[in-house]
């Protein structure tokens, strides 16, 4: 025998679904309770948070080849800015915005580097934050994802293969392009080719509603400067000598660009792991040149 139950008819909920919410990245309409955008997979929390305030967040991209050091750089940047006693200060919006900082600093604190970022966009960490500058009345709202280098390369080689990257870069206001200084110094041209491809892709990316990328600011950051003194001393000269393609593209195409050098580790050792083979482990953390490129980009945005 079946027990009769009373099922309330919640038809009022259909009325809520009739009002769509636009994805903050690709502007596709989604339903009220969608977790990720059905078109580009960006988290819908960004759209809900942006709608709750009057200031429109600006998008800033961090790009570079796989292994260039994007996750380590961004995680450290968030951590430094959220603990600064003076100067620029960062306040995360939404619990999800703290995950990148948490995983990066958690790994570094146990003498490990964080793992490779997955290629699937719904597994990327996004940071939505408020930046408070001294003497500025209103904070700046920023949205920055930690994208996987392989996904960016795939989009650059085959445009529209990652909808989220295409939509995000069209709407983006500025970019940090991270380049591995050690690979460049070793004479590996792959890093230079990647940067050239990326800048060439950006310069061709058109969106009628926004200025061309050639007029948007780009900070080129040589990472792992702790292992390359030459790039630390003069990053622009290092680019001219060792990454001529990248240097030429920047000079010819991008009106607002600057070269920087950064490093997170103080000393590293190579360990033999039974499961992962040879892995680099940081013994000390000595952040250097992390805030400067970001502060420069913010000045350009203002
Ligand atoms: N010496 C040194 N090595 C670093 C530094 N930052 C990153 N690395 C090394 O570079 C590797 C890759 O760093 P990630 O930040 O994961 O690189 P990524 O650009 O996020 O790579 P994808 O997630 O694949 O796109 C780390 O595992 C470290 O071995 C640094 O500041 N100094
Ligand atoms: Mg990563
Ligand atoms: Zn979307």
pLDDT digits (tens, 9 = 90+) for 176-200: 999 999 999 998 888 999 999 999 9
| Nearest-angstrom CA–CA distance, 60 and 54 | 19
Structure confidence at residue 1 (pLDDT): 67
pLDDT of residue 161: 94
Q: Which of 261, 259, 230, 233 is nearest to 246 (CA)?
A: 259
Residues 260 and 290: beta-carbon distance below 8 Å = no
Probe residue for ligand 1, chosen from 80, 106, 113 as the CB with the greatest number of ligand atoms within 8 Å: 113
Average pLDDT (63-82) is 96
What are the residues whose beta carbons fall under 8 Å from the beta carbon of 234, sequence distance 6 or more? none
Higher pLDDT, residue 85 or 258: 258
- pLDDT over 70 (residue 171): yes
pLDDT of 217: 95
Q: Which two tokens stand for residue 7?
A: 């099922």
State pLDDT tens for residues 10-32: 777 777 777 889 999 999 999 98
pLDDT at 222: 97
pLDDT confidence of residue 174: 95
d(CA 210, CA 231): 34
Looking at every residue in the chain, the average pLDDT score rounds to: 92
> What gap in Å lies between CA 140 and CA 90, rounded to an integer?
10
Query: Percentage of residues in the chain with pLDDT exceeding 70?
Result: 100
Architecture of domain 60-301: 3-Layer(aba) Sandwich (3.40)
Using CA atoms, how far apart are residues 46 and 93, in angstroms rounded to an integer? 9
Q: Closest-lying ligand to the alpha carbon of 115?
A: 1
Q: 264 CB contacts (<8 Å, ≥6 apart)?
A: 69, 72, 73, 76, 108, 226, 282, 285, 286, 287, 288, 290
Ligand 1, atom 6, lies closest to the CA of 69
- Ligand 1 neighbour 263 (Cβ under 6 A): yes
How many angstroms separate the CA atoms of 24 and 192, rounded?
32
Q: Domain residues of the chain, as ranges?
A: 60-301
Task: For residue 113, report the distance from its CA to the centre of ligand 1, in Å.
Answer: 7
Q: Looking at the predicted structure, is the pLDDT value of residue 291 above 90?
A: yes
Please, what is the angle between helix 244-253 and helix 235-242, to 10°? 110
How many angstroms separate the alpha carbon of residue 163 from the centre of ligand 3? 8
Contacts of 106 (CB under 8 A, 6+ apart): none
* Among 40-54, 191-205, 211-225, the least confident range: 40-54
Q: What pLDDT sits at residue 248?
A: 94
């Amino acid at each position: 025998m079946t027990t009769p139950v009373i099922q309330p008819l919640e038809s009022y909920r259909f009325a809520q679904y009739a009002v769509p919410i636009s994805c903050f990245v690709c502007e596709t309409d989604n339903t009220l309770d969608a977790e990720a955008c059905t078109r580009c997979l960006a988290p819908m929390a960004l759209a809900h948070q942006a709608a709750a305030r009057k200031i429109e967040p600006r998008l800033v991209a961090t790009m570079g080849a796989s292994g260039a050091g994007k996750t380590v750089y961004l995680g450290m940047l968030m951590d430094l800015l959220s603990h600064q006693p003076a100067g620029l200060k960062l306040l995360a919006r939404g619990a999800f915005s703290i995950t990148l900082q948490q995983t990066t600093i958690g790994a570094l604190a146990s003498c490990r580097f964080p793992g490779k970022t997955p290629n699937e966009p719904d597994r990327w960490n996004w940071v939505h934050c408020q930046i408070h500058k001294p003497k500025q009345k209103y904070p700046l709202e920023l949205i920055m994802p930690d994208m996987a280098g392989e996904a960016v390369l795939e989009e650059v080689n085959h445009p529209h293969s990652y909808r989220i990257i295409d939509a995000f870069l069209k709407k983006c206001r500025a970019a940090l392009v991270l380049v591995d200084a050690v690979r460049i110094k070793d004479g590996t041209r792959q890093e230079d080719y990647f940067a050239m491809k990326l800048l060439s892709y950006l310069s061709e990316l058109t969106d009628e509603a926004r200025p061309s990328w050639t007029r948007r600011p780009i900070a080129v950051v040589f990472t792992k400067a702790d292992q390359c003194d030459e790039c630390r001393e003069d990053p622009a000269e290092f680019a001219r000598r060792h990454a001529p393609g990248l240097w030429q593209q920047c000079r010819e195409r991008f009106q607002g660009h600057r070269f920087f050098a950064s490093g997170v580790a103080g000393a590293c050792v190579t360990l033999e792991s039974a499961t992962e083979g040879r892995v680099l482990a940081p013994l000390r953390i000595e952040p250097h040149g992390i805030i400067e490129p970001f502060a420069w980009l913010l000045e350009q945005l203002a």
